[in-house]
């Protein structure tokens, strides 16, 4: 009877062990995970004078107070606006006001712009934003698009000598958005 008990015990252990799943540590040469990165709409523009840095000062030098209109062609040797946004944009322009030198000034209507690679006719700057480039396409990834801005200035007779200053603002919004109001 002892042998029979021993045999039942051994069979019980063998049967119990057979019903358990074996544990294996599987070797894997790789592991994968999905990564998601959400890129937001981003508007990036810059204004450059004669290939200088972004927001570089526009120097219109050696002007005579002779009532004649001076012209500076836009592009790498003049004024240009660059766009590296990831959405289609509308571009606007304005100036802060008259060109001032202390109490002396040159009327803002004497400062004009044209071209913008959109056939923009010669137009006097105003202090309100004006649309100059509509539906400007998105550049290739990592790239930028560049457009020329022609500038014109008439210095009236008897304008006192000195440096006259105004600020030109370029602003962009995603195409179809409301026009900018500031800065």
3-state secondary structure 114-153: EECCCCEEEEECCCCCEEEEEEECCCCCCCCEEEEEEEEE
> Could you tell me the pLDDT band of residue 7, with boundaries at 50, 70 and 90?
very low
What pTM value is reported for the model? 0.82
Q: For residue 36, what are its two tokens?
A: 């998601």
What domains sit in the chain, N to C, each tagged with a CATH number? 45-174 (2.60.40)
pLDDT tens-digit series, residues 125-147 = 999 999 999 999 999 999 999 99
pLDDT tens-digit series, residues 21-60 = 666 667 889 999 999 999 999 999 999 999 899 999 999 9
């Amino acid at each position: 009877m002892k042998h029979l008990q021993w045999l039942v015990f051994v069979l019980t252990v063998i049967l119990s062990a057979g019903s358990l799943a074996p544990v294996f540590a599987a070797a894997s040469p790789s592991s994968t995970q999905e990564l998601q990165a959400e890129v937001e709409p981003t508007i990036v523009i810059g204004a450059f004078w004669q290939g200088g840095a972004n927001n570089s000062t526009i120097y219109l030098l050696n002007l005579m107070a002779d009532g004649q209109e001076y012209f500076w062609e836009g592009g790498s040797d003049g004024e240009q606006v660059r766009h590296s946004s990831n959405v289609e944009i509308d571009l606007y322009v304005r100036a802060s006001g008259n060109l001032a030198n202390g109490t002396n000034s040159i009327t803002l209507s004497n400062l004009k712009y044209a071209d913008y690679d959109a056939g923009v006719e010669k137009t006097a700057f105003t202090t309100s934003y004006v649309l100059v480039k509509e539906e400007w396409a998105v550049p290739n990834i990592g790239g930028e698009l560049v457009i020329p801005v022609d500038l014109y200035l008439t210095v009236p007779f008897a304008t006192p000598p000195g440096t006259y200053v105004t600020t030109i603002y370029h602003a962009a919004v995603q195409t179809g958005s409301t026009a900018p109001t500031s800065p």
